[in-house]
A and B are shown apart, each in its own frame.
Chain A
Amino acid sequence: MNITTEYIIAPPTRWPSINWAELLRYRDLFFVLAWRDIAIRYKQTALGVLWAIFQPLVTMVIFTVIFNRMAGITSGDSTPYPIFLYVGLLLWQYYSNTLNNTSNSMLQNAAIIQKVYFPRLIIPTASAVAGLIDFAIGGVILFGMMIFYHCYPQWLGIVLLPLLVGITFLSALSLGFTLASLNIKYRDVRYALPFFIQILMYLIPVIYPAKLLEKYLLAKWLALWLLPISGVITVARSSLLGNSPIDWPLLGISLLMSIVYFFGGLYYFRKTERYFADIA
């Protein structure tokens, strides 16, 4: 507080940069905002945090009945379908919830943006971090299912897990940065997004194994290479459950793409953020 800071307020430059020192100074705000997003999520609900268990669990049961029993989709290897599906669902739901929350985060906090300055990046990032809590709670069920199906996690999968979650986080956040900026200017995003997410779920191998995509080159290229979440789900299944070989090149592509997306999203967000207060 007593460090005298000196800075210049001037018109925005062409190439935005990231002021890491400033981000570090505002770390407390980051934690408080993430905590707020978690704290208010289940306020005044009767079931509270049970909702975080309920949603993926019920989805898993219904999808298993429809896609496995009725439509005959299988995991493509010896893995029981429910557990195969749940690994995908867990990551997918974190991805789609994060996409949704971060995209709307700037608008939801418009009142704050118009009255107080702080690095705007904090808002969508805190929102993405808050979602990790639900992901962790959903993970507890996965653990239970693994015991139930005697399908124990591989060591390699546990070691890779932080990387996989990291890629999911980065790719959801980078798209979230872009959509959050767009959402401030064009409210269309708000209406298009739920639809877009729904479509995405079928494009990504969540309910079916990635192998089914092999036949359709364009789909494979689009879904597996351009959407890092597909690679994450595929590798998570093979590494955690150990019933099929790990697709290392796919993991590499996913990691690379998520980093590319992240810097792209960051650049777009920084470029547009200075005018948020004027147009929100």
Chain B
Amino acid sequence: MSKPIIEAVAVSKQYRLGGTWGYLSLRDELAKRFTRAGRLAEEQQTLFWALRDVGFTVQPGEAVAIVGRNGAGKSTLLKILSQITPPTSGHIHMRGRVASLLEVGTGFHPELTGRENIYLNGAILGMTRREIAEKFDAIVEFAEITRFLDTPVKRYSSGMYVRLAFAVAAHLEPEILVVDEVLAVGDAAFQRKCLGKMGDVAKGGRTVLFVSHNMAAVKTLCQRAIHLSHGQVTLDADVETVVLEYLGGLEGLPAEKVWMDPRIRPGDDMFRLLAVRVLDRENRPSSSLLTSQPITVEMEFELTLVHTAFCVGFDLLGPDGNEVFRSWQTDIVDAPPLQVGHNRLRCTIPAEMFNAGTYRIVPKASLHCMKWILNSPDPVTQFETTFDHGESYFLHGGDRPGPLAPILRWEALEPVAREGGAR
């Protein structure tokens, strides 16, 4: 066996929480040095290990997934591998050139044209001008933007923008490719195209490190996976085993999730999520529900202002961990009124909809078409369903495939005479 292309030994990364991280003005710094309150604040800073003694090796040509819940240290590990931030201790021995895709379109400048941005973005990602020139036509073709090549990208639709950005990234040819959830962009068709391209890269003998919450993508791309939990490697094995453990780790979610501590409530200055609950017909939180009954999702949150573009809602994940649907409070014309301060919204999912299985709720919040407020892919609550709806005798024989099992109408019509022969 050849030498490993990546060799991480006891890598740790420490962050300081509160106080000095983030914006810092000179006045704060002076206050910290010279006043008692300032010194106290300094002492209260908690040290936080984002990564603790992480060690693993990757052989050339391997495609390895890194999975774990949010805050497990995946992004920190990627940043250290990409040399964006140094480790606090430990080291990583790299034996190849790394290209890291922590996002697509890094450095895109809105005023520059598509053509100019290809050169700019390519150079930022580590390509030489010659390499970009050689791949230019392939990039343009992949992005499907030939007609808009000389238009400033600020006039692009978001789809075009993302396609161009991914196209540049897809044509990188490093020895080691480090990819963070960049596939979570664009429409489904484009996502499939990206996945296909990534698969080609992995099959082409390059080493790929892939971080994603999309277990289907992880399973398609990688043979091996590393499970991170609280900054430590808990499992390093073949992808099937790790995905099972990862999904298993989600089993323990409650039907009611309440954030008591204001400091850890998800959201931003405008929006803070207080609770998410799954309720049964009597509006009691319950984690085991019948499909013959409507199921209600309740969200409690605080608003400091009521923005007209504000949307709150959730993604419903099916038993396989993929999204079944997303719903926003603004999906209906007579959206429920919101107020500054405490809000409680309920969304009722009609009866006779679900199959049997475990479903999870991922809360979401955004300013429509402006920005995400809450876009973590991690579910917070879950419920189990027992399939008991429908009166037909045929329904209760065996399992149904798919996350939904709606009862749809069937009717018989007069046959239509076929004209001519077979098509």
Contact = CB atoms under 8 A, between A and B. Distances in A.
Given A116-B82, A116-B107, A116-B124, A1 B89 contact: no
B312 to A, nearest CB: 27
Given A9-B87, A116-B100, A278-B21, A44 B111 contact: yes
Given A9-B87, A277-B79, A188 B25 contact: yes
A214 interface: no
A112 B21 contact: no
Nearest to A184: B24
A10 B8 CA distance: 10
Contacts of B125: 116
B24 A186 contact: yes
Interface in A241-280: 274-275, 277-279
Contacts of B89: 11
B346 interface: no
B85 interface: yes
B97 interface: yes
Given A4-B96, A44-B111, A114-B84, A186 B26 contact: yes
B86 interface: yes
A115 B27 CA distance: 29
A218 interface: no
Interface in A1-38: 1, 3-12, 26, 28-29, 31-33, 36
A204 B91 CA distance: 49
A29 B123 contact: yes
B115 to A, nearest CB: 11
A215 interface: no
Nearest to A114: B84
B123 A28 contact: yes
Interface string B99-117: 0101100110101100010
B22 interface: yes
Given A9-B86, A40-B109, A115 B102 contact: yes
Given A4-B95, A9-B91, A275-B85, A28 B25 contact: no
Contacts of A31: 129
Q: Which of B22, B109, B120 has the most chain A CB within a 10 Å cutoff?
A: B120
A39 interface: yes
Interface band, chain B: 35 or more
B128 interface: yes
A44 B84 CA distance: 33
Contact of A188 (B26, B92, B173): B26
B83 interface: yes
B150 to A, nearest CB: 13
Interface string B125-139: 111110100000000
Nearest to A112: B107
Q: Which of B94, B95, B107, B152 has the most chain A CB within a 10 Å cutoff?
A: B107
A6 B85 contact: no
A277 B84 contact: yes
B324 to A, nearest CB: 32
B81 interface: yes
Interface residues of A, number: 40
Contacts of A186: 24-26, 29
Contacts of A26: 126
A111 interface: yes
A26 to B, nearest CB: 8
A279 B20 CA distance: 9
A187 B173 CA distance: 38
B92 A8 contact: yes
Given A9-B94, A278-B15, A32 B123 contact: yes
A115 B128 CA distance: 19
Contact of B85 (A28, A111, A112, A278): A278
B83 A117 contact: yes
B175 interface: yes
B29 A12 contact: no
A2 to B, nearest CB: 9
A202 interface: no
A150 interface: no
Nearest to B122: A32
A116 B106 contact: yes
Contact of A115 (B84, B111, B127, B174): B84
B34 interface: no
Given A9-B87, A116-B84, A116-B102, A4 B175 contact: yes
Contacts of A9: 80-81, 83, 86-87, 91-92, 94
B119 interface: yes
Contacts of B80: 9
A33 B98 CA distance: 21
Nearest to B80: A9
A29 B124 CA distance: 6
A277 B152 CA distance: 28
B121 to A, nearest CB: 9
Contacts of B70: none
A279 B24 CA distance: 9
A26 B129 CA distance: 11
B348 interface: no
Interface of A: 1, 3-12, 26, 28-29, 31-33, 36, 39-40, 43-44, 109, 111-118, 185-188, 274-275, 277-279
Interface of B: 15, 21-27, 29, 79-98, 100, 102-103, 106-107, 109, 111-112, 116, 119-120, 123-129, 131, 152, 173-175
Sorted nearest first, the 8 A-B pairs with minimum C-beta distance are A32-B123, A117-B83, A10-B91, A9-B92, A43-B111, A29-B123, A115-B102, A115-B106
15 contacts: A1-B128, A1-B131, A1-B173, A5-B95, A5-B96, A5-B97, A8-B91, A10-B86, A10-B90, A31-B129, A32-B129, A116-B107, A117-B83, A118-B126, A187-B24
Given A109-B107, A115-B84, 6 more contacts: A4-B95, A5-B94, A5-B97, A9-B94, A40-B112, A117-B82
